[in-house]
A and B are shown apart, each in its own frame.
Chain A
Amino acid sequence: MTGAVPTVTTADAVIENAPTTVADAAPAGRGRLVLGRLLAARGAVAGTVIVLLLFLLAFVGPYLTHWHYTDIDYAAMRQPPSATHWFGTGGLGQDVYAQTLRGLQKSLIIGLLVALLSTVVAGLVGACAGYFGGWTDRLLIFFVDLMLVFPSFLVITIISPRLKNTGWIAFVVLLAAFNWMITARVVRSMTISLKEREFVRAAQFMGVRPLRIILRHILPNAASYLIVDATIAVGSAVMSETALSYFGFGVKAPDVSLGTLIADGTDAAPTYPWMFYFAAGLLVLFVLAVNLIGDGLRDALDPTAEAGRAPSRRAARLSRSTRTPKGSR
């Protein structure tokens, strides 16, 4: 969302322009300020590092062992972790380490892309419907409601044969397509109340174009909700992909994803914990990291938030309430 602000500058500029801005130098724009606050938030940095490490693990890790995720070791079935099979083996003698990393590759990309795509669509559709109102609103909301009442699995089973060969991109698009409607409705109602705020009216009277207003004023002010929603969507995308696998769509055996691994390993969890907990643990770690990034981003976008600024939230609120003379008028 901040990408739309014209003054987004690179990270280098932030480091050069430390908080003490020299008077008369070009004032730091919103993009630069948000980035600076994001880098100052420890949680967000930690989350980013974890996600990067997970990517490294998923794409470099498989080269560290000679087992391939399709390999089957008939000599070792349901064996606990050992020097040969680092994460143990599955019911048919598959190497859990190779499988988990293969699954991680898939799930990282699916989770992040689905969340990003559905949030962007939800934000744009919801904000446009709320902002323009009238027929735009009626048509968009009709479409949203239509998508909501469609039995999504039925639609997917009908169109999946045609998309069999397009691979995971089509899969991501489909998952996102059935994931954005409720968010869009919430964003729409937020937009309707934001639209009446004076700063939006001021922008209209300045002659700012409607789409600009949506990108510059409406979406940043709805960002807290969108970000929280997106972080939740990451986890749920990974899990709903499992459900689709039942329809022979998405990830098919012998290929695996974290979702399928967790689904298969759930029954074995009490007896053969390594078949379940490695996949589940990585998913938890992934979702946790995404949550940390989301929290950091939300605080960075909200100037009154505690993180990223020295005064505490309560102090900020107090000073606001004492400064704003609204109360007694």
Chain B
Amino acid sequence: MTSPAELLTVRDLRVEFAGARGRAATPAVRGVDLTVRRGETLGIVGESGSGKSVTALAVLGLLPGTAGITGSVELDGRELVGLPGRELARIRGSRIAMVFQDPLSAFTPVYRIGDQIAEAVLVHQKVDKAAARRRAAELLDLVGIPDPVRALDSFPHEFSGGMRQRAMIAMAVANEPDILLADEPTTALDVTIQAQVLDVLRTAQRETGAALVLVSHDLGVIAQMADRVAVMYAGRVVETAGVDELFAAPRHPYTLGLIGAVPRLDTRGGPLVPIPGTPPAPSQLTGGCPFAPRCPLAEDRCLTGEPQLTGPESHLAACVRADELAERRPAPAEVYPVPDVPPSALAPLRADREPVLRVSGLTKTFPILKGAVFKRRVGEVYAVDGVELDIRRGETLGLVGESGSGKSTTLFEVLGLARPEAGRIELLGQDTAGLDRAAVHRLRAQLQIVFQDPMASLDPRMPIGDVIAEPLRAQRTPKPEIDRRIPDLLRLVGLEPAHASRYPHEFSGGQRQRISIARALAVEPQLLVLDEPVSALDVSIQAGVLNLLQRLKAELGLAYLFVSHDLSVIRHLADRVSVMYLGRTVEQGSVEAVFNTPRHPYTRALLSAVPLPDPVAERARERVLLAGDPPSPTERRAGCRFRGRCAVYTALAPELRTRCEQESPVLLDAAPDADHAAACHYPTEGQA
């Protein structure tokens, strides 16, 4: 019964992965209903393990043989489930096309980009090779790859991540499909590149008239792109509605919690709304509402039967209290318990607090070596080239930059506590250049790090009691003291002391990150370096960790050096922010100043590229798209290194441009007393 407007109808789709050796099968998707209309964009949002990617793959028939699929997927009235592989293959690529998450593994590394796109054309269309190649060039042009004819002969590794993802989109639209399935198409990319790719997706959609199914965990991306949204939880759709309706008046408590858990670029401070607990494992489902154990609104009836999607056709929700929520329209914080963040007891005036870390003019280069036996130096990578940092007691400095901007190198230089190649690092007033080994060892206790990946940063073969004890042992703390501290530390980060004898793999991602934080706090440091501490976590978990960090900062008077590519998180947590581009600090200052009146065109572009989890605000925004990719850090060019991508530079009169080309800008304060400096010759040009 497909009405003409409905292109793809998914009814009661169930996917199970067969268990090995007689064990029970694991359900990944448990009855999903979706409809995609011609030309519209459907966003599927959910956390990891919610079954969103499996749903997309099941539609394409791309799941492995161990997966059992039941239910119905109809494309234009034609049933796809159970179709033989050959017929499915004819549909894939010509009527439904897929854009994968990882652009690196989506291309075969040994074939040229052009050949791979032409192949997609040749498989489905009766054209000769030359025509297919011409078409490939057209497609690359469509997705905005400069010099498409030459790009045809490039190999995938010669493309940057963003360009590969564009080429992927070009390949997907090669046969003008009716449906474009994009599974986390921008997750692996930087924000400015993400903005470019989303723009290309929109162009591709406009040119081909295809419907777009966008799978993402990022509410901002969904709010920006989608017409309708389906929220998935534990293998089912729990709410589906038009994008405005969904964000304005969610009817499922999970959706409400998600919206409250995301830090936003346009508001700051205060605790986020964490959703307690973790998503259930497929084996833990009891038959009640799968969200009930985490839901603050759960009642007895939630535990007995799984609620079905109900409500008006335009807004379905699988919650027994959906009507109540629709009527009351509560804010997330009214429904979920929000922890208090105690006020900091430190001197409010920045000048009154002693500096914890001071970095000026930091430089680090890596040699590029060639030759097998005798290595010759053939060049240098300027990974860090002029970084300024200033952190005082009890404050958070957010360090922002895209990949390759030298954030990690800066961190490792600071953590190395050695004499830098050039410049100066001062930790607690001590210059690292003049430290002996004993002093370095003592200073280590004042400076601790929390890494990005909570799985990799804990030794899998060590019980967490030993993990947390390690920094104490390194500082030669007596054993009774260590034994006393471990339960305290576990309690401090919200874990139970009895957990000390468990191994890291028994914990969830968020809990593991808490263990990392406990380990870092064990020696009572003054400065905590947080290297993307929440970017590997789901939003609902991330909110809890961010709240914990805020609480610890207030309680213990810690200073944070918070590295992130996510500007919303920085905005939420940081007091001051420092923006890096190509190894150099281009703007720094208080969060309010930098986010409200950015002076560097790069900062403006970054801010504009971050999608807001609010469709109305998102549409009202003006967008500054940054062209191209960051240039290679192997050459040190005269003048401003951002000018190749700079909108201000291109708009300047030729006689004013000379300054950008010849003179490298230095950090200049916006006003004599303001905590705001930018390295731009024309900081006021092009300001909104």
Contact = CB atoms under 8 A, between A and B. Distances in A.
Given A318-B281, A324-B509, A23 B487 contact: yes
Contact of B283 (A28, A221, A315): A315
B536 A326 contact: yes
A221 B444 contact: no
A61 to B, nearest CB: 40
B465 A326 contact: no
A323 B444 contact: no
A165 interface: no
Contacts of B164: none
Interface string B467-492: 00011011100010001001100000
Contact of A198 (B20, B184, B448, B457): B457
10 smallest beta-carbon distances between A and B, as pairs: A27-B500, A27-B465, A303-B503, A207-B444, A325-B48, A328-B48, A198-B457, A323-B508, A28-B501, A26-B483
B498 A323 contact: no
Contacts of A151: none
A320 B537 CA distance: 14
A206 B444 contact: yes
Nearest to B411: A205
Given A7-B466, A27-B486, A198 B505 contact: no
A30 B246 CA distance: 49
A197 interface: yes
B672 to A, nearest CB: 38
Interface in B434-482: 440-441, 444-445, 447-449, 451-453, 455-463, 465-466, 470-471, 473-475, 479
Interface of A: 5-7, 21, 23-24, 26-30, 33, 197-199, 201-203, 205-209, 212, 216-217, 220-221, 223, 301-304, 312, 314-316, 318-329
Contacts of B187: 328-329
A197 to B, nearest CB: 6
Contact of B461 (A21, A201, A220, A325): A220
Most-contacted residue by chain B among A209, A320, A322, A326 (CB, 10 A): A322
Contact of B20 (A205, A314, A324, A328): A314
A266 B20 CA distance: 44
21 contacts: A6-B473, A21-B501, A24-B487, A26-B483, A33-B463, A202-B451, A203-B470, A205-B449, A206-B523, A207-B471, A208-B473, A217-B462, A301-B461, A303-B506, A312-B23, A316-B505, A324-B455, A324-B509, A325-B48, A328-B184, A329-B536
A24 B448 contact: no
Nearest to A6: B473
Given A21-B501, A198-B452, A206-B470, 15 more contacts: A23-B487, A27-B465, A27-B483, A30-B461, A33-B463, A33-B501, A202-B519, A205-B444, A216-B462, A314-B19, A321-B49, A322-B49, A322-B282, A323-B508, A324-B48
Interface string B24-61: 00100000000000000000000111000100000000
A199 B453 CA distance: 10
B439 to A, nearest CB: 11
Contacts of B449: 202, 205
A301 B169 CA distance: 46
B535 interface: yes
B415 interface: yes
B463 A23 contact: no
B456 A304 contact: no
Contacts of A315: 283
Contacts of A21: 498, 500-501
A216 to B, nearest CB: 8
B455 A304 contact: no
B365 interface: no
A209 B437 CA distance: 12
A328 B47 contact: yes
A326 B466 contact: no
A212 B459 CA distance: 14
A325 B457 contact: no
Contacts of B184: 328
Contact of A207 (B475, B504, B508, B537): B475
A319 B283 CA distance: 9
Contacts of B594: none
Contacts of B367: none
Contacts of B462: 30, 216-217, 220
B541 interface: yes
A96 B565 CA distance: 75
Given A322-B282, A325-B541, A29 B465 contact: yes
Contacts of A216: 459, 462, 470
B485 to A, nearest CB: 11
Contacts of A221: 459-461
A23 B460 contact: no
A199 B458 contact: yes
Contacts of B536: 325-326, 329
A287 to B, nearest CB: 27
Contacts of A202: 449, 451, 457, 516, 519
Contacts of A326: 48, 453, 455, 509, 536
A326 B505 CA distance: 13
A23 B487 CA distance: 8
Contacts of B507: 323
Nearest to B468: A27
Interface string B406-446: 00000000010000000000000000000000001100110
Contact of B505 (A28, A320, A327): A320
Most-contacted residue by chain A among B187, B505, B537 (CB, 10 A): B505
A327 B49 CA distance: 8
A22 to B, nearest CB: 8
A209 B475 CA distance: 11
B287 interface: no
A220 B516 CA distance: 20
Nearest to A32: B501
B58 to A, nearest CB: 16
B505 A199 contact: no
A212 B441 CA distance: 15
